């Protein structure tokens, strides 16, 4: 039996919202010896790499926004514990706290400084018509590269615009992107977990890539203060709403922990396959199962939504 073309399978996956470039894992039932290929979503938020997962990540960020990212009043800060938990800068000090290193050489110029306000609520801009705007962290919701976002699809990239991006790329190349970035050496600061071979201007972090042109930040810290939830908690809330709707409609949802190693007494073993080990037959088989599962979930959810008004009417 001939296999369908890979391009056709990917197009079907895009249509139903399944990751098109998953990591394939081989899951084995120790008791029966049965093996199955389970696709794991790639996790990319770039539309050019995986449109379905990028759209899913964008919707999750939209949900996070609605839950409280765009508040108008400064949230109450209860202490420094949340800062320490989310802070991805600094070093691990005594008693599990994260502390910032202040070691600097005296024969190097001072680091650039910008005025900082002690607030997390964004600035309000008033338009001529009186409408008020409060910008948020839009860069977190983009699913395209920076270059792709600013390029007009029907017009070639102009020389001035290309030169502008080149200047930005040159500047970002030499700025520190993380505590481990080699560019800290330019300012006389030893990078975190420094080792041999660190050369300023040659950091492999994605922030220096011309397609990104941005530095890593602490945007999730704002969400924790405003909602008390991580992004994973918001994702779990969305899944709980769907599961409750299915159960209310009398539909038995799939168990998300069906193949979990924890609590299964070692029944399942997982082996992640490298992309070089995933041939056409393995890819098509894993994707076909994922597509069918996604279609079944969507049909169940639509039936649950259709039954909810009828059940509400009977209760009333």
Strands 23-29 and 132-133, bridge-based pairing: unpaired
The two tokens of residue 71 are 């508040």
This prediction's pTM: 0.59
Q: What is the pLDDT of residues 128-177, one digit of tens each?
A: 898 887 665 444 455 566 556 555 556 665 777 778 778 888 888 888 88
Write the DSSP assignment of 135-161 as a string of letters: ---GGGT--S-HHHHHS-TTSPPPHHH
Report the alpha-carbon distance of residue 268 to residue 31 in Å, rounded: 9
Cα Rg of the chain (Å, integer): 24
Chain centroid to CA 79: how far? 27
Percent of the chain, pLDDT > 90? 8
Collapsing DSSP to helix, strand or coil, 64 comes out as: helix
Nearest to 46 by CA among 141, 136, 138, 135: 141
Q: Measuring CA to CA, how many Å separate 100 from each of 96, 187, 190?
A: 13, 16, 12
Between CA 188 and CA 235 the distance in angstroms is 41
pLDDT digits (tens, 9 = 90+) for 263-307: 556 778 888 888 888 888 899 989 998 999 999 988 988 888 888
H/E element, 223: helix 219-227
């Amino acid at each position: 039996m001939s296999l369908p073309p890979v391009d056709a399978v990917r197009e079907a996956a895009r249509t139903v919202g399944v990751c098109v470039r998953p990591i394939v894992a081989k899951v084995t039932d120790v008791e029966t010896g049965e093996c199955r290929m389970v696709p794991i979503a790639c996790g990319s938020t770039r539309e050019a790499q995986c449109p379905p997962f990028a759209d899913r990540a964008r919707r999750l960020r939209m949900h996070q926004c609605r839950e409280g990212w765009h508040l108008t009043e400064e949230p109450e800060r209860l202490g420094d514990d949340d800062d320490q938990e989310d802070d991805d800068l600094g070093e691990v000090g005594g008693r599990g706290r994260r502390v910032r290193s202040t070691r600097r050489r005296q024969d190097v110029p001072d680091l650039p400084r910008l005025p900082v306000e002690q607030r997390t609520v964004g600035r309000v801009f008033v338009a001529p018509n009186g409408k008020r705007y409060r910008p948020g962290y839009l860069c977190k919701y983009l699913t395209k590269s920076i270059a792709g976002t600013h390029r007009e699809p029907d017009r070639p990239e102009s020389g001035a615009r290309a030169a502008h991006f080149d200047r930005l790329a040159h500047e970002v190349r030499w700025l520190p992107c993380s505590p481990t970035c080699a560019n800290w050496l330019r300012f006389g600061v030893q990078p975190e977990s420094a080792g041999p071979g660190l050369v300023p201007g040659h950091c492999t972090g994605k922030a220096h890539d011309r397609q990104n042109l941005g530095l890593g930040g602490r945007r999730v810290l704002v969400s924790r203060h405003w909602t008390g939830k991580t992004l994973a908690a918001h994702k779990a809330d969305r899944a709980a709403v769907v599961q409750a709707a299915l159960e209310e409609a009398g539909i038995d949802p799939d168990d998300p922990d069906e193949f979990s190693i924890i609590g299964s007494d070692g029944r399942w073993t997982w082996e992640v396959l490298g992309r070089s080990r995933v041939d056409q037959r393995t890819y098509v088989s894993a994707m076909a199962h994922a597509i069918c599962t996604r279609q079944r979930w969507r049909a169940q959810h639509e039936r649950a939504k259709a039954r909810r008004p009828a059940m509400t009417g009977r209760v009333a």
